[in-house]
Amino acid sequence: MSIVTDPEEQYRLITKNLQETLNGQIIKNVLEVEKRPLKIYWGTAPTGKPHCGYFVPMIKLAHFLKAGCEVTVLLADLHAFLDNMKAPLEVVNFRAKYYEYIVKAILRSIGVPIEKLRFVVGSSYQLSQQYTMDIFRLSNVMTQNDAKRAGADVVKQVSNPLLSGLIYPLMQALDEEHLGCDAQFGGIDQRKIFVMAEENLHSIGYKKRAHLMNPMVPGLGQGGKMSASDPNSKIDILEEPKQIRKKVNSAFCAPGEVEGNGLIAFLEYVVQPIQELKAGKEGVFSFEINRPEKYGGPISFDSVDKVKADYASGDLSPVDLKAGVADQIVALLEPIKAEFDADPEFQKIQAQGYPVAQPKKEKKEKKVKNKGTFYPGAGKSQTPPASVEKVTEELKDAKLEG
């Protein structure tokens, strides 16, 4: 992958396909005035297993690397624990390692060199004295409502929230300083935390950063994004082909509706950008649907716009769209699955991070023995004595009768 050196082209590549950029002038100043690589970080909390939605930020990491940026991937293990305890402390370290394996495997599968990527585990610096002091300092200039509002779209919302949900956004803001970055990258759902960082970091003496936001790819259900906590909305990176086709076939896909269609969004935000990366050329797109001859034969598309137009008009049916997208996903995940199957350490880390719950052994019910008719108290009752005292009394009675 050749590195772009022209500042204008670098900025275009850095901001390509983003939904929003805050303080883009900071990025331009680094590239045009300071004439140095932009330092940027992307953080991910290792909670549920990574899904196909992760291809979207991976494509942007590829763009950043091509633009000559110094890219840091933050494996935010403490954030995972703070987010309503989505990840228990005893497995969070394994999950962080599993996420690193997955991120590297995805990037390798789409032809992105990973040698210049820096991976940092959050707890490696977030437990330091300076970081702890910064949390105290930032919490002294922010209100409870500020923190709650900032994390509203990221931290799991419950009726009786834990205090940890208020610490989460403060730490994400402080990570910008402690990772030494010029910009932070994330999904549009991170926007409130980004704005909070811009408005408050200067209060404790730290500079303002730029913020880059990806659009959120719709999930397979009706409305909402792909989510690690909703198994029906997503396809895991290591999902088996049979399960992939089953999930895609059951995806919400209203005839003629393009807006909010997770399958078309996947073609637009994942398939085409990956094809462009591999070809080293923009505008490249190829989508084949192997439709049986009795239903009209194979169909091919050379633009996402054509897919949208045909789907909106009814020329492309939900059944055919699902079949084509399922094939695309299976092909994308195949090299990652092959890497997993060939690496015992990869498999071990997954098993440690996501241990399979063992079914509880049911206690066998004690059977009441049939003692026959020749025992003390026979014939009085077939119900077992209720207590030791009762048994003792019955034995006394039997002796007296004898």
CATH code, domain carrying 98: 3.40.50.620
Does a structural domain hold residue 104? yes
Kindly state whether residues 299 and 337 are assigned to the same domain.
yes
Kindly state whether residues 161 and 279 are assigned to the same domain.
no
Single residue among 332, 353, 374 that ends a domain in this structure:
353
Single residue among 214, 249, 270 that ends a domain in this structure:
214
Does a structural domain hold residue 208? yes
Kindly state whether residues 198 and 255 are assigned to the same domain.
no
Task: Give the C-alpha separation, 370 to 300, whole Å.
Answer: 75
Kindly state whether residues 210 and 245 are assigned to the same domain.
no
Kindly state whether residues 56 and 203 are assigned to the same domain.
yes
Kindly state whether residues 251 and 343 are assigned to the same domain.
yes
Residue-level pLDDT at 295: 87
Q: Which domain holds residue 323?
A: 241-353
Encode burial over 248-257: b for 16+ CB neighbours within 10 A, e otherwise.
beebbbeeee
The packing angle between helices 191-200 and 164-178, to 10°, is: 70
Does a structural domain hold residue 224? no
Contact by Cβ (8 Å): 57, 184: no
Kindly state whether residues 203 and 252 are assigned to the same domain.
no
Does a structural domain hold residue 366? no
Kindly state whether residues 37 and 182 are assigned to the same domain.
yes
Kindly state whether residues 30 and 179 are assigned to the same domain.
yes
Does a structural domain hold residue 125? yes
Contact by Cβ (8 Å): 17, 47: no
Residue-level pLDDT at 88: 79
Kindly list the distances between the CA atom of residue 358 and the CA atoms of 47, 86, 158, 361, in Å, as whole numbers in the listed order. 20, 20, 28, 9
Kindly state whether residues 156 and 39 are assigned to the same domain.
yes
Does a structural domain hold residue 388? no
Residue-level pLDDT at 393: 58
Tally of structural domains, the chain: 2
Series of mean pLDDT values for 10-residue runs along the chain (402 residues) = 89 96 97 97 93 94 95 95 77 94 95 91 96 97 91 77 88 97 96 95 96 89 60 84 94 91 93 93 93 91 96 95 96 97 97 81 63 57 51 51 49
Does a structural domain hold residue 144? yes
Angle at 84 between CA 80 and CA 89, to 5 degrees: 50
Does a structural domain hold residue 233? no
Residue-level pLDDT at 363: 61
Kindly state whether residues 249 and 198 are assigned to the same domain.
no
Kindly list the distances between the CA atom of residue 209 and the CA atoms of 47, 183, 279, 296, in Å, as whole numbers in the listed order. 27, 5, 33, 54
Kindly state whether residues 207 and 307 are assigned to the same domain.
no
Residue 73: beta bridge partners? 42, 119
Report the run of H or E that residue 60 belongs to, with start and end: helix 55-66
Tell me, what CATH number does 248's domain have? 1.10.240.10
